[in-house]
Each structure stands twice: as structure tokens, then as C-alpha cells.
């Protein structure tokens, strides 16, 4: 039997023929008359309306609409508690009616205001209403209030987020409702350490033009915390949004650039630093610009930058004393990379640190070798071996046999060749530090042509250069050569094992090599990452997670580690954690970044679908306590 109201045309016909306005046994006519008597229908007799609704219910006991309107009329009469029973019945008769669920939820909510014990029922009713009416901001707001009263912080957080997403503009407690909702969400998310919720709320508060200064401070705090947590891509997004509102603040642009520097995106960082410098000049900004210029291969511009900084760092009270030595080391390195050994020697010898700093001493030794000043080069190398035994160049010089190191009448050519090879290998290392892998490879091969390979370090460097240039097969050949030269070298074992894993080689051999390397260097994050990846390849996902988490604790800014950890977590069906790790990795530049971007998009979609499916499966929250209550009986509270 239908519950629809009498069509307007039929009603007009009745009126036009002189028939009575309604019939005592016509439910539709009774409903119309009762509706007109309600206050919400323009009338002033809610008790009379209630009496008519009861007649309809007697005629149509299965009418959810009649029960709902009866509850409304009783409420208009001032009987809040009496309105509950028919509201419960209406929801029971039509469990998919959002209107009925919302009406009952509001009744429960109002009753709970004077009775803390009734808040559980109110929360249940409001959850049912929000499930049926997910776009009703009032239902979510009332639910958030109840959840906060009940000390359910997680429930309140999710409810306030739902309110904020609906972006309602009515005023609430002295501010716009959506702003209040997101403010509460930020506070609760920070308390519960819910990063994604906090990020969503803060970014939403700063999404409109001219946000409140408090929201901008929240955004800055979020950005700094994101840096500390390793979400560098998110931190850059937050700082960039902050810069939209205060574009004339150089410190914000500098912070953006520092994130870009940390993620090895030097060309982008350079452009950002130039924006900061246009607003404010500082020694730190100029230093970072010089570093970026070297990283992108613009050596002449970098040299000019270092030369311009020298007077500032040599002042009695420089702006940033910590930069004095790095500026000099980078200036000297830049000159050497430009092939200007003579200029390097002329500049460095005037500095007090020339004889006391290991890096400056090694660069001078290289310059002397490049100029063919063999005797002073040997003298400086001997001194460096004694004073700086851990510095790479001097450590390698100490391994040259004494008979070869010292130049005699017979072994002059062999001795000079050994020193030249030492310099060429050092130049290869220098080029690798600035990611100039083609020049690094050229220097390695020049070193190999100059003399026999004396240690596996040169081969490791060559393999790294080849891998970076996408020549993996050649890299494997070089690593096999290194294996014959020094099979127990832990770095070689790790690098060879990892390349075998990546290129589908013998998994057993790869795991054995990496495990042997890890036994020698248990604190090496690269080797721990390789071991975790080997465990992953073996299907031992939980053990892989444990190893990769150890690696991440040692090197929190490694994109490869975060990528691998995300893969392991995905296999363990911990989708949100996997997504978090991949989000951390995406801040960096690495060879297969584009592939990971697609995986992240797919995983975000999968996470969202899973959440929607879980909500749909849960369905509306039932009202078990009140189901079957009599129409006019007292409502159990």
C-alpha cells in the first residue's frame, strides 16, 4: 500500500465538487490535513495533528511516514521524550530512510544534553543517520560533539573531518562551521599522532584566500614536522602553499630550497634559491646557490660565487663562521674540476687552513701532480700520510709500494705513473660527488690505462658510474672483476649481490653475498637495505620489513629504502603504511621514480576503495534497544 500524499489535482476536484476536505477513512486526506495543522506546515495545532496521525496509523500500521510525522507533532507539542517512540518505529519500518534516522538522531541528541547516560544511544543513532545521510553536516556535527563528550577521540576526529569536507558555512561557536571542524581535527590529530588527518585539516584551513594567521602558523609547524618525519615531498608542498600567502618572505623560499637540496633536485633548488636571494641576500643563500651550480655542472658560475664569498668569510666577524671552511674547500674543488691547478695552488697557499685541513691538503697534492711538480707532490703526500691517515687520497697513497712511490733513476716513469693514477682516481671520486658520472667514468678509465688496478675501490667506482649511466651489464662485468681481486670486500659483496637481485640473477648467490657483507658491517644501511630486499625476493616479507626498518632508522632519507619498505608492507596488506613509505620516497629523484608515481596513484585508489567498501559493509548502525517499542509507550532511555 502506498504512503504517498493525495495528488493536488484530486484534492482540487474534491474541493470543487463540494466534498468534505478529508475523509475519516482516507489516510492520504488525513495526512494532508494533519500536515497543515503542524507548525512546520503553517498551522498551530500540533496536538490535533498528532491525533490525526494516530488515526492514520490505525488505518495503516506499517506507515513509516505516519509514525515520523506523529513524532514531529508530539515534539512540536513540547513532549521531547514522547516523540521518541514513534520516531523509533518510523526508523524500524523504513530502515533506509535517512529522514527518519536523522529525526531520531536529533531527538536522541537533545535528550542526551541533560542526561549523560543517554549519550551512548545518541551516538548510535547519529552514526546510523550519518551512514544514511553522509552529506548532512548537522548529523556529523552532533556526532562529533557526542564523541567528544564520550572521550572517543578517534570517533570525534573522523566526525569533524567529515564536517570539514562538506565545507558548511553556517556560524558555529563564533566562527564558520567548517573552520571550527578542521581546527578540532588538527588538535585531535596531533594528540593522536594521526599524520594524514592533521595534514588534510591544516591544508584545508589554508585553502582559501587570506587565511587566518593562526592557520599559517599551523601550516609552518606542519611543514617542519614533515621534514623531521621524512615526508619531504609533503613538506615542500606545505612550504610552497605558505609562500603563496607570504611571497615576500625569503626564509620560506629558502626552506623550500633546502628540501629540494636534500632530495637532490639541484636545478629546481637553484631556481628557488634565486627567488630567495632576490628578496634578501645572505651568506647561506649564496653558499647554497654555489653548491647547486656545481651540482648542475655550471662550474664557472660557481667559481665566481665562491670568489665573491671569500671577503665575507674572511671578515673578523663573518655572518656565518661555519661556512668559511666549506667555501674554501668547494672553491678549490671547483678550480681543480675546471683543470686550473695553478690557480688552485696560488689561492690555497694564502689560507691559514691550507696546511691544517685534510681536504685542502689533498686538493693541493692533486694540483701538484697535475702540474708535474713531482717532488713537492711527494713531500705533501708524505706529510698527509702522517697527519691525515684516514683521508682517502693519503690512505691510498700509503698503499703505494715504497719502491714505486719514491722516484729513482730507474723507476721514474713507474713512480710518476702511480701518482698520476692516484690523482685520476681522486678526480673520479670528485666527479662522482657532483653526479657527473660521464666524467667520473672517463677518469676511472684513464686511471686504469695509467697502471694496474691496485685495489677494488677503483672498480667499485667504475661499476657505480656504469650503473648510474644505465650500463648494468658492464657494471656486472666490472664487479665480477673486483670479486676476483678482493672477494671478501664487504662493499663489493653488497653491490654485486644487490645487482644480482635487481637483474634477476642467482637469488641464492645474491643472498649469500649480502649476508656475508652484513656480518662484516652490521651498521651499514645500504647493506641492511640489500638484505631486506633479498628477504623480500625470497618471500619472507615480515623479516624483510624488520630489516628495512633498521635500514630506514640509519638512513631516513634514502628513497630506495622507503621504496623497498613500501613493497614489503604492501605484501603484508598494510596499505596505508606502504603508501606512507612510498610518499616519502617520491620526494627524491631516482631512476624508477615515474614507475613509483603510478604505483602510488593506484595504491591511493585502492586504499580509498577499501575504506568505502568497509563503510558499505558495516551499513547503518541499528537501534536494538528500541526496536519493537509500542507507539505510545514510554521510550526506554
- Band of the pLDDT at 116, cuts 50, 70, 90? confident
CATH of the domain spanning 523-628, picked from 3.30.1360.120, 3.40.50.300, 1.25.40.10, 3.60.130.10? 1.25.40.10
What pLDDT, on a 0 to 100 scale, did the predictor assign at position 4? 38
pLDDT tens-place string over residues 210-262: 999 999 999 999 999 999 998 999 999 999 999 999 999 999 999 999 999 99
Q: Is residue 478 within 8 Å of 456, Cβ to Cβ?
A: no
* CATH, range 1-94: 1.25.40.10
Distance from C-alpha of 307 to C-alpha of 136, rounded to nearest angstrom: 65
What pLDDT, on a 0 to 100 scale, did the predictor assign at position 270? 98
Query: How far are the Cα atoms of 470, 502, 568 from residue 506, in angstroms, in the given order?
Result: 21, 10, 21
597 Cα distance to chain centroid:
13
How would you write 40-75 as a 3-class SS string?
Answer: HHCCCCHHHHHHHHHHHHHHCCCCHHHHHHHHHHHH
Our CA dihedral for 582, 586, 590, 591, rounded to 10 degrees, sits at 70
> Is a pLDDT exceeding 80 seen at residue 294?
yes
**Average pLDDT for the chain:** 90
pTM for the model: 0.82
What pLDDT, on a 0 to 100 scale, did the predictor assign at position 20? 44
Cell of 131: 551512514
Distance from C-alpha of 232 to C-alpha of 206, rounded to nearest angstrom: 19
pLDDT tens-place string over residues 611-621: 777 655 555 44
Query: How far are the Cα atoms of 83, 141, 169, 227, 614 from residue 88, in angstroms, in the given order?
Result: 9, 21, 31, 51, 26
Query: What residues contact residue 584 under an 8 Å CB cut-off, 6+ apart?
Result: 230, 231, 232, 233, 559, 562
Q: Is residue 71 within 8 Å of 88, Cβ to Cβ?
A: no
What pLDDT, on a 0 to 100 scale, did the predictor assign at position 610? 82
User: At 171, is the secondary structure helix, strand, or coil?
Assistant: strand
Strands 175-176 and 171-172: antiparallel
Cell of 244: 603563496
* End-to-end CA, the chain: 33
Q: Is residue 594 within 8 Å of 585, Cβ to Cβ?
A: no
Distance from C-alpha of 615 to C-alpha of 604, rounded to nearest angstrom: 17
Q: What are the structural domain ranges in the chain?
A: 1-94, 523-628
User: At 391, is the secondary structure helix, strand, or coil?
Assistant: coil
Higher pLDDT, 73 or 608: 73
Q: Same topology for domains 1-94 and 523-628, yes or no?
A: yes
Rg (CA), the chain: 37
Judge residue 141's burial from the number of C-beta atoms within 10 Å of its C-beta, 0-12 exposed, 13-18 middle, 19 or more buried: buried
User: At 523, is the secondary structure helix, strand, or coil?
Assistant: coil
What pLDDT, on a 0 to 100 scale, did the predictor assign at position 12? 32
Distance from C-alpha of 426 to C-alpha of 405, rounded to nearest angstrom: 17
Give the H/E segment covering residue 176. Answer: strand 175-176
User: At 172, is the secondary structure helix, strand, or coil?
Assistant: strand
pLDDT tens-place string over residues 122-158: 999 999 999 999 999 999 999 999 999 999 999 999 9
- Dihedral sign from CA coordinates of 410, 414, 418, 420: positive
491 Cα distance to chain centroid:
31
Cell of 55: 488515526
pLDDT tens-place string over residues 446-487: 999 999 888 899 999 999 999 999 999 999 999 999 999 999
Cell of 299: 662550474
- Percent of the chain having pLDDT more than 90? 81
Please work out, in degrees rounded to the nearest 5, the angle formed at the alpha carbon of residue 347 by the alpha carbons of 345 and 352.
100
User: At 175, is the secondary structure helix, strand, or coil?
Assistant: strand
Question: In terms of Cα–Cα distance, which of 226, 288, 221, 276 is closest to 249?
Answer: 276
Residue 68: other Cβ atoms inside 10 A: 23
User: At 513, is the secondary structure helix, strand, or coil?
Assistant: helix
Cell of 357: 685541513
Q: Is residue 335 within 8 Å of 327, Cβ to Cβ?
A: no
What pLDDT, on a 0 to 100 scale, did the predictor assign at position 410? 56
Distance from C-alpha of 220 to C-alpha of 215, rounded to nearest angstrom: 9
Query: How far are the Cα atoms of 255, 473, 476, 484, 518 from residue 455, in angstroms, in the given order?
Result: 42, 21, 17, 11, 21
Buried/exposed 331-363: b ≥16 CB within 10 Å, e otherwise:
bbbbbbbeebbeebbebbeebeebeebbbbbbb
Query: What residues contact residue 425 under an 8 Å CB cut-off, 6+ apart?
Result: 396, 443, 444, 447, 457, 458, 461
What pLDDT, on a 0 to 100 scale, did the predictor assign at position 471? 95
- Band of the pLDDT at 407, cuts 50, 70, 90? confident
What pLDDT, on a 0 to 100 scale, did the predictor assign at position 421? 96
- Band of the pLDDT at 329, cuts 50, 70, 90? very high
Query: What residues contact residue 470 under an 8 Å CB cut-off, 6+ apart?
Result: 591
Q: Is residue 147 within 8 Å of 155, Cβ to Cβ?
A: yes
Query: What residues contact residue 298 under an 8 Å CB cut-off, 6+ apart?
Result: none
Distance from C-alpha of 485 to C-alpha of 455, rounded to nearest angstrom: 8
pLDDT tens-place string over residues 525-556: 999 999 999 999 999 999 999 999 999 999 99
Size of the chain, expressed as the number of residues it contains: 637
Amino acid at each position: 500500500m502506498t504512503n504517498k500524499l493525495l495528488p493536488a489535482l484530486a484534492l482540487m476536484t474534491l474541493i470543487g465538487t463540494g466534498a468534505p476536505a478529508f475523509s475519516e477513512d482516507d489516510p492520504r486526506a488525513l495526512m494532508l490535513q494533519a500536515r497543515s495543522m503542524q507548525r512546520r506546515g503553517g498551522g498551530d495545532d500540533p496536538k490535533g495533528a498528532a491525533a490525526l496521525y494516530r488515526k492514520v496509523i490505525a488505518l495503516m500500521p506499517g506507515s513509516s511516514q505516519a509514525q515520523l510525522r506523529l513524532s514531529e507533532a508530539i515534539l512540536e507539542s513540547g513532549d521531547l521524550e514522547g516523540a521518541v517512540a514513534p520516531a523509533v518505529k518510523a526508523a524500524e519500518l523504513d530502515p533506509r530512510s535517512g529522514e527518519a534516522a536523522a529525526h531520531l538522531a536529533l531527538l536522541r541528541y537533545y535528550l542526551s544534553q541533560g542526561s549523560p547516560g543517554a549519550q551512548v544511544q545518541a551516538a548510535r543513532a547519529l552514526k546510523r543517520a550519518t551512514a544514511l545521510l553522509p552529506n548532512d553536516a548537522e548529523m556529523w556535527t552532533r556526532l562529533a560533539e557526542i564523541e567528544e563528550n564520550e572521550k572517543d577521540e578517534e570517533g570525534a576526529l573522523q566526525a569533524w573531518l567529515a564536517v570539514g569536507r562538506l565545507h558548511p558555512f553556517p556560524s558555529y561557536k563564533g566562527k564558520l562551521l567548517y573552520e571550527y571542524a578542521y581546527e578540532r581535527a588538527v588538535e585531535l590529530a596531533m594528540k593522536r599522532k594521526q599524520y594524514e588527518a592533521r595534514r588534510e585539516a591544516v591544508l584545508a584551513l589554508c585553502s582559501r584566500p587570506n587565511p587566518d594567521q593562526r592557520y599559517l602558523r599551523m601550516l609552518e609547524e606542519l611543514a617542519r614536522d614533515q621534514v623531521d618525519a621524512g615526508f619531504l615531498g609533503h613538506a615542500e608542498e606545505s612550504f610552497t602553499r605558505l609562500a603563496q600567502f607570504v611571497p615576500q618572505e625569503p626564509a620560506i623560499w629558502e626552506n623550500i630550497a633546502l628540501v629540494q637540496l636534500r632530495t637532490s633536485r639541484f636545478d629546481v633548488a637553484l631556481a628557488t634559491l634565486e627567488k630567495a636571494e632576490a628578496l634578501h641576500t645572505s651568506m647561506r643563500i649564496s653558499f647554497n646557490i654555489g653548491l647547486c651550480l656545481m651540482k648542475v655542472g655550471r662550474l664557472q658560475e660557481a667559481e665566481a660565487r665562491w670568489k665573491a664569498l671569500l671577503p665575507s668569510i674572511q671578515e673578523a666577524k663573518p655572518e656565518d663562521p661555519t661556512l668559511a671552511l666549506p667555501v674554501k674547500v668547494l672553491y678549490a674543488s671547483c678550480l681543480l674540476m675546471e683543470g686550473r691547478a695553478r690557480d688552485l695552488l696560488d689561492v690555497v697557499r694564502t689560507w691559514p687552513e691550507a696546511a691544517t685541513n685534510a681536504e685542502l691538503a689533498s686538493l693541493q697534492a692533486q694540483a701538484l701532480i697535475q702540474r708535474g711538480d713531482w717532488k713537492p707532490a711527494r713531500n705533501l703526500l708524505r706529510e698527509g700520510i702522517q697527519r691525515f691517515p684516514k683521508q682517502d687520497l693519503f690512505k691510498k697513497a700509503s698503499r703505494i709500494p715504497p719502491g714505486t712511490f719514491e722516484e729513482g733513476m730507474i723507476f721514474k716513469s713507474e713512480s710518476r705513473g702511480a701518482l698520476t693514477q692516484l690523482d685520476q682516481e681522486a678526480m673520479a671520486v670528485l666527479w662522482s660527488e657532483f653526479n657527473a658520472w660521464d666524467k667520473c667514468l672517463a677518469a676511472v678509465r684513464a686511471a686504469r690505462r695509467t697502471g694496474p688496478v691496485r685495489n677494488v675501490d677503483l672498480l667499485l667506482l667504475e661499476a657505480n658510474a656504469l650503473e648510474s649511466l644505465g650500463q648494468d651489464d658492464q657494471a656486472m662485468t666490472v664487479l665480477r672483476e673486483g670479486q676476483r681481486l678482493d672477494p671478501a670486500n664487504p662493499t663489493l659483496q653488497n653491490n654485486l649481490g644487490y645487482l644480482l637481485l635487481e637483474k634477476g640473477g642467482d637469488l641464492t648467490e645474491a643472498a649469500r653475498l649480502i649476508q656475508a657483507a652484513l656480518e662484516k658491517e652490521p651498521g651499514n644501511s645500504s647493506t641492511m637495505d640489500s638484505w631486506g630486499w633479498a628477504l623480500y625476493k625470497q618471500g619472507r616479507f615480515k623479516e624483510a620489513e624488520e630489516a628495512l626498518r633498521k635500514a630506514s632508522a640509519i638512513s631516513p632519507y634514502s628513497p630506495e629504502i622507503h621504496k623497498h619498505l613500501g613493497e614489503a608492507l604492501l605484501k603484508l596488506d598494510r596499505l596505508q603504511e606502504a603508501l606512507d613509505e612510498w610518499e616519502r620516497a617520491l620526494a627524491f629523484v631516482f631512476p624508477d621514480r615515474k614507475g613509483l608515481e603510478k604505483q602510488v596513484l593506484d595504491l591511493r585508489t585502492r586504499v580509498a576503495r577499501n575504506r568505502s567498501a568497509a563503510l558499505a559493509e558495516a551499513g547503518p548502525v541499528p537501534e536494538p534497544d528500541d526496536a519493537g517499542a509500542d507507539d505510545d509507550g514510554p521510550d526506554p532511555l
